[in-house]
C-alpha cells in the first residue's frame, strides 16, 4: 500500500520531503495500532484516530504543531483510501486539528522564577486547595469564572483532560500537565464535600470569583489571576514557535 500511496501523493504534486514525512508518520500510526490492538486495520476508523490524538498529546507530549503534522498525513491517507475504494468515510475532520499560536505578544510582567516562588509560598502555606488553584491557573490558562465553575465531572485526571465551559456556554477541551494532575489529586485527598464543584469553600460552597482574588493577593502583590493567564499564554507561544 505504501507504494500506491506514494504514487497518489506524487500525482497530487506533493514534494519529496512531504511524501517522506507522510509515509513516516503513517508507519508510526500503524505501529501504534499493532501495539495497541494486535494488528494494523485495513482502513482508518475515527475512534482509532481520536484515541491516537489523545495518545500523541497526553502520553507522547507532542506539541499542537506535531499533532497536526501527523493528522495531515492521516487525512491524506484517508483521501487515498477513499479514492482507491477501500473505504467511504472521512474520519479526520477540520475540527480535529489543534490551534497553533505562532506569535503572541504577551503583556505578562512576571517571569518563571516569579511564578515558581509564588507557587512555593502557596505550597508552604499548607492549603492544598489554594495550591491546586494556582497551579491550574499557571499551566492551563483558565479564566477566573471557568475555574470557580469547574465541576468534578469535567476533570479527567487519567486522560489529563478538563472539559471547560467558557463564555457563551462554549465548551472546549483543555489538556493538563502532570503538575496540575498531582496538585488536584493531593487536594482531592483532603477534600470533604458533597458539592459537585471541584473547588469549594470551608462551608462546602462554590468559591466566588472574589475569593480567588483574595487567595492571590494574600500571597503576592504582583501576581493576579489575569497575570498567570498571560504567563501561560506567553509560555505556550514560545513552545509552539
Q: In a 10 Å sphere around its CB, with 0-12 CB exposed, 13-18 middle and 19+ buried, how is residue 153 labelled?
A: exposed
Quick one: average pLDDT of 185-189?
Answer: 93
Report the distance separating Cα 179 and Cα 106, nearest Å: 23
Is residue 107's pLDDT more than 60?
A: no
Is residue 241's pLDDT more than 50?
A: no
165 or 53, which is more confident? 53
Quick one: average pLDDT of 115-136?
Answer: 89
Question: Which runs of E-coded beta strand occur in 19-160?
Answer: 155-156
Report the distance separating Cα 52 and Cα 54, nearest Å: 5
My answer on whether 129 and 234 are in the same domain is yes
My answer on whether 121 and 191 are in the same domain is yes
Q: Contact, 180 vs 148, CB < 8 A? A: no
Who contacts 147 (Cβ-Cβ below 8 Å, separation ≥6)?
133, 136, 137, 199, 212, 225
Report the distance separating Cα 156 and Cα 44, nearest Å: 27
Residues linked to residue 165 through DSSP beta bridges, in sequence order = 171
At residue 102, the pLDDT reads 46
| Domain closes at, from 96, 126, 156 | 96
My answer on whether 226 and 118 are in the same domain is yes
| Domain closes at, from 43, 68, 96 | 96
190 or 230, which is more confident? 190
My answer on whether 87 and 137 are in the same domain is no
Who contacts 218 (Cβ-Cβ below 8 Å, separation ≥6)?
none
My answer on whether 208 and 117 are in the same domain is yes
Q: Is the pTM of this model over 0.75?
A: no
At residue 109, the pLDDT reads 63
Quick one: average pLDDT of 133-156?
Answer: 87
Total tally of structural domains belonging to the chain: 2
Mean pLDDT of the chain: 86
167 or 160, which is more confident? 160
Report the distance separating Cα 19 and Cα 173, nearest Å: 31
Is residue 118's pLDDT more than 60?
A: yes
My answer on whether 125 and 205 are in the same domain is yes
237 or 30, which is more confident? 30
For residue 105, is it within any domain? Answer: no
Whichever domain contains 80, its CATH number is 1.10.150.130
- Give Dmax (Cα) for the chain: 67
| Structural domain harbouring 150 | 112-240
At residue 23, the pLDDT reads 95
At residue 235, the pLDDT reads 61
Whichever domain contains 227, its CATH number is 1.10.443.10
My answer on whether 148 and 41 are in the same domain is no
Amino acid at each position: 500500500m505504501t507504494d500506491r500511496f506514494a504514487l497518489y501523493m506524487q500525482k497530487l504534486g506533493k514534494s519529496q520531503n512531504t511524501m517522506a514525512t507522510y509515509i513516516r508518520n503513517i508507519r508510526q500510526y500503524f505501529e501504534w495500532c499493532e501495539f495497541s490492538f494486535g494488528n494494523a486495520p485495513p482502513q482508518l476508523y475515527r475512534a482509532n484516530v481520536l484515541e491516537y490524538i489523545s495518545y500523541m498529546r497526553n502520553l507522547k507530549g507532542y506539541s499542537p504543531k506535531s499533532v497536526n503534522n501527523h493528522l495531515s498525513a492521516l487525512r491524506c491517507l484517508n483521501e487515498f483510501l477513499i479514492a482507491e475504494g477501500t473505504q467511504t468515510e472521512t474520519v479526520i475532520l477540520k475540527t480535529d486539528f489543534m490551534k497553533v499560536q505562532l506569535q503572541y505578544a504577551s503583556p505578562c510582567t512576571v517571569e518563571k522564577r516569579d511564578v515558581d516562588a509564588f507557587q512555593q509560598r502557596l505550597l508552604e502555606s499548607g492549603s492544598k486547595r489554594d495550591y491546586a488553584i494556582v497551579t491550574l491557573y499557571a499551566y492551563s490558562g483558565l479564566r477566573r469564572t471557568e475555574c470557580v465553575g469547574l465541576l468534578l465531572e469535567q476533570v479527567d485526571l487519567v486522560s489529563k483532560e478538563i472539559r471547560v465551559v467558557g463564555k457563551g456556554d462554549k465548551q472546549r477541551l483543555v489538556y493538563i500537565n502532570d503538575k496540575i494532575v498531582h496538585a488536584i489529586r493531593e487536594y482531592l485527598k483532603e477534600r470533604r464535600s458533597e458539592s459537585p464543584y471541584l473547588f469549594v469553600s470551608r462551608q462546602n460552597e462554590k468559591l466566588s470569583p472574589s475569593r480567588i482574588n483574595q487567595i492571590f493577593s494574600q500571597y503576592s502583590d504582583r501576581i493576579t489571576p489575569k497575570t498567570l493567564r498571560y504567563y501561560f499564554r506567553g509560555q505556550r507561544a514560545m513552545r509552539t514557535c
